[in-house]
A and B are shown apart, each in its own frame.
Chain A
């Protein structure tokens, strides 16, 4: 049984560069495994999903980008605020996207303007589109997607991005946009949603994760799991790690061992290797400290290995399998 059974919207978020896009894609693959239909969305106009799946830039259109293990499809959508606004106008005001009003809005840069002056407005449009995909139904009443995964903006902006009713409330107390933002908010705050945080075992991303959880909780947004990315296995046996960290690595034994393996073991070489072991042990200790700090959040947590090179399609499937084994999906 996966850890988030009732969740249909998975928001993936974290400090910049921690691998939000990679984890969002891996999670989408994991959720789709075994015959499910999943939509993976991005909102920052960077075409990160297309790059990851080696596909040409995504149009504003839901497109199948990958097949999951055991059957199941991942579809992707790059949501763009301008298109989302036209969609919104079409849906609620029957304004054709190719009609004169819509065209002149675009020509005048009005959309740019509106979304610049009031970023809250842009975020309502973006999250509104995500929400629409979450609640969309097929003709027979079944959900159009089993799950929707959102590759969200970085932690610094996440609460502002998701807590749209607060942002919009400051600008519009009544009116259609207010109503729309309340509807979106209702889904975001419901048990159908989980906001996951991606982190590395380093000081700043760990701190941002702690702050992120606090901010999300304060905004009554449901916190999901913590995904610890780029984890390296410690290479030294536990006892040697402790000794190395305390600067008491047994260099005599090391020298003997090297000779046993048929290597020359002059003193400077042994010392230099000992120094490398020390630095490794310090790094491991620091990571352990990060892990302890994260454990205090008492959230389900998942670890992904550091892959030798940047993540390609094969790597993505590996990460997806790992998330599945650990029960995230």
Chain B
């Protein structure tokens, strides 16, 4: 197994993207990497998405705030610094509209009920806006390193696919049909559109009512003025993900589903020629007591229980057996990934007994990320 040298990555990368399936520790890893980079002397910003409440508080993030704030309590003796922000996706979307649409149109878009639905609940908006913000932070020139967390989705691939989905939707056939009346005007419109479209509007009017359809058309027409901007930006940010200096960190829990998702993601990055730093297997259980096998422990526990011996020792032995068995299961799952992807550098982070909710916890995770020499040895 190749070992992931996280410090080398932290010292050289300009953008780090933490991806992985839901709940595996993306936000924690992103924050821990950013803190470590800052304390190693880099001017760093971390873009977090829905962090756990206490973690957010410990970084001074009390509410969504679309601009980065300085994190206090960071060791700046090496000349680095850490800023953090929580993504506000609606506001990021609004900002794009305000930048790209003519002022009169912008207000119409912002007020349209369909825009409001799209900007707050279209599957993929959050991913698109995370990328958008990433581009902005990088372009600001204020930072040596931008670390990005990704939204809680089931599949890590959503992060790569969502922006595409949004632009494809905005470029789509239906949108063009809805725009046709505005463009062709009057009767000519009847020639442009297919019979199918009339059926469509007929049915939609039936289902949702005529007023709604009009709202949709207006919304689409207003948005059209900014399509170009949208597409270009999406493309520019996507390109940034392939640029030298960008690296992906894939996070997984030592569980079947999470490792399978990680494998898909790693393969996809390779296909897209996007640079992978490596895999972080987070929340692994290890045991420092290698001399005592589960079998021996359980047998000893049983003999104590039968002989009426120390209940404490019996319980501790059962606990130990449990932990070693769990560690073994996790290692087998991890090994399966490694066999299939021998070139992917891997590092393990131990499961801490408590949640990670302060800078000290992040430092501990960071040290594990950098030190992970015990990988697969427990």
Inter-chain CA distance A277–B315, complex, in Å, is 9
B309 at the interface (CB under 8 A from A): yes
> Are A176 and B207 in contact, CB atoms less than 8 angstroms apart?
yes
> Are B289 and A170 in contact, CB atoms less than 8 angstroms apart?
no
B114 at the interface (CB under 8 A from A): yes
Given contacts A101-B199, A272-B288, contact A17 B316 (CB under 8 A): no
A70: chain B residues within 8 A (beta carbon): none
Inter-chain CA distance A279–B353, complex, in Å, is 5
Quick one: which of B22, B292, B307 contacts A263, CB cutoff 8 A?
A: B292
> Are A104 and B118 in contact, CB atoms less than 8 angstroms apart?
no
Inter-chain CA distance A110–B175, complex, in Å, is 10
Shortest Cβ gap from B55 to chain A (Å): 9
Shortest Cβ gap from B60 to chain A (Å): 19
Given contacts A172-B211, A237-B312, A240-B312, contact A119 B300 (CB under 8 A): no
B113: chain A residues within 8 A (beta carbon): 170-171
B208: chain A residues within 8 A (beta carbon): 114, 121, 171-172, 175-177
B318: chain A residues within 8 A (beta carbon): 235
> Are B304 and A260 in contact, CB atoms less than 8 angstroms apart?
yes
A282 at the interface (CB under 8 A from B): yes
> Are B209 and A178 in contact, CB atoms less than 8 angstroms apart?
yes
Chain B interface residue count, CB cutoff 8 Å, equals 71
> Are B312 and A254 in contact, CB atoms less than 8 angstroms apart?
yes
Inter-chain CA distance A286–B154, complex, in Å, is 26
A218 at the interface (CB under 8 A from B): no
Inter-chain CA distance A278–B352, complex, in Å, is 12
Residues 238-270 of chain A: 1 if any B CB is under 8 Å from the residue's CB, otherwise 0?
001000000001100110111011110000010
A160 at the interface (CB under 8 A from B): yes
B199: chain A residues within 8 A (beta carbon): 100-101, 104-105
Residues 131-166 of chain B: 1 if any A CB is under 8 Å from the residue's CB, otherwise 0?
000000000000000000000101000000000000
Inter-chain CA distance A254–B376, complex, in Å, is 29
B67 at the interface (CB under 8 A from A): no
Residues 232-257 of chain B: 1 if any A CB is under 8 Å from the residue's CB, otherwise 0?
00000000000000000000000011
| Interface Cβ pair total, 8 Å cutoff | 196
Given contacts A105-B199, A250-B312, A257-B313, contact A119 B122 (CB under 8 A): yes
> Are B169 and A16 in contact, CB atoms less than 8 angstroms apart?
no
B340 at the interface (CB under 8 A from A): no
> Are A175 and B211 in contact, CB atoms less than 8 angstroms apart?
yes
A324: chain B residues within 8 A (beta carbon): none
B73 at the interface (CB under 8 A from A): no
> Are B116 and A170 in contact, CB atoms less than 8 angstroms apart?
yes
Q: Interface size class for chain A?
A: 35 or more
Inter-chain CA distance A250–B313, complex, in Å, is 10
Shortest Cβ gap from A114 to chain B (Å): 6
Given contacts A175-B208, A176-B209, contact A240 B117 (CB under 8 A): no
Give the interface segment out of B5-13, B274-282, B319-327. B319-327
B289: chain A residues within 8 A (beta carbon): 269, 272-273, 276
B1 at the interface (CB under 8 A from A): no
Residue of A15, A156, A177 ringed by the most chain B CB atoms within 10 A: A177
Shortest Cβ gap from A318 to chain B (Å): 19
B contacts with A: majority SS: helix
> Are A254 and B212 in contact, CB atoms less than 8 angstroms apart?
no
A174 at the interface (CB under 8 A from B): yes
> Are A277 and B316 in contact, CB atoms less than 8 angstroms apart?
yes
> Are A253 and B312 in contact, CB atoms less than 8 angstroms apart?
yes
B173 at the interface (CB under 8 A from A): yes
B185: chain A residues within 8 A (beta carbon): none
> Are B216 and A93 in contact, CB atoms less than 8 angstroms apart?
no
A107 at the interface (CB under 8 A from B): yes
Inter-chain CA distance A263–B196, complex, in Å, is 81
Cβ-closest chain B residue relative to A172: B212
B residues 337-370 with Cβ under 8 Å of A? 353-355, 357
Inter-chain CA distance A93–B315, complex, in Å, is 67
A42 at the interface (CB under 8 A from B): no
A135 at the interface (CB under 8 A from B): no
B335 at the interface (CB under 8 A from A): no
Give the interface segment out of A23-31, A59-67, A136-144, A200-208. A200-208
> Are A236 and B292 in contact, CB atoms less than 8 angstroms apart?
no
> Are B154 and A16 in contact, CB atoms less than 8 angstroms apart?
yes
Given contacts A108-B174, A269-B292, contact A261 B200 (CB under 8 A): no
Given contacts A101-B199, A276-B323, contact A310 B256 (CB under 8 A): yes
> Are A109 and B174 in contact, CB atoms less than 8 angstroms apart?
yes
B52 at the interface (CB under 8 A from A): yes
> Are B309 and A257 in contact, CB atoms less than 8 angstroms apart?
yes
Given contacts A114-B204, A310-B256, contact A256 B310 (CB under 8 A): yes
Inter-chain CA distance A235–B21, complex, in Å, is 31
B54: chain A residues within 8 A (beta carbon): 203
> Are A254 and B353 in contact, CB atoms less than 8 angstroms apart?
no
Q: A residues within 8 Å of B by Cβ?
A: 15-17, 46, 88-89, 93, 95, 100-101, 104-105, 107-110, 112-114, 116-121, 156-157, 160, 167, 170-178, 202-204, 207, 235-237, 240, 249-250, 253-254, 256-258, 260-263, 269, 272-280, 282-283, 286, 309-310
25 inter-chain pairs at a CB distance below 8 angstroms, sorted by A residue, are A88-B207, A108-B196, A109-B174, A113-B172, A117-B118, A117-B216, A119-B121, A121-B208, A172-B208, A175-B209, A175-B211, A176-B207, A178-B209, A202-B355, A235-B315, A235-B319, A236-B316, A249-B312, A250-B312, A254-B316, A257-B310, A258-B313, A272-B289, A273-B320, A309-B329
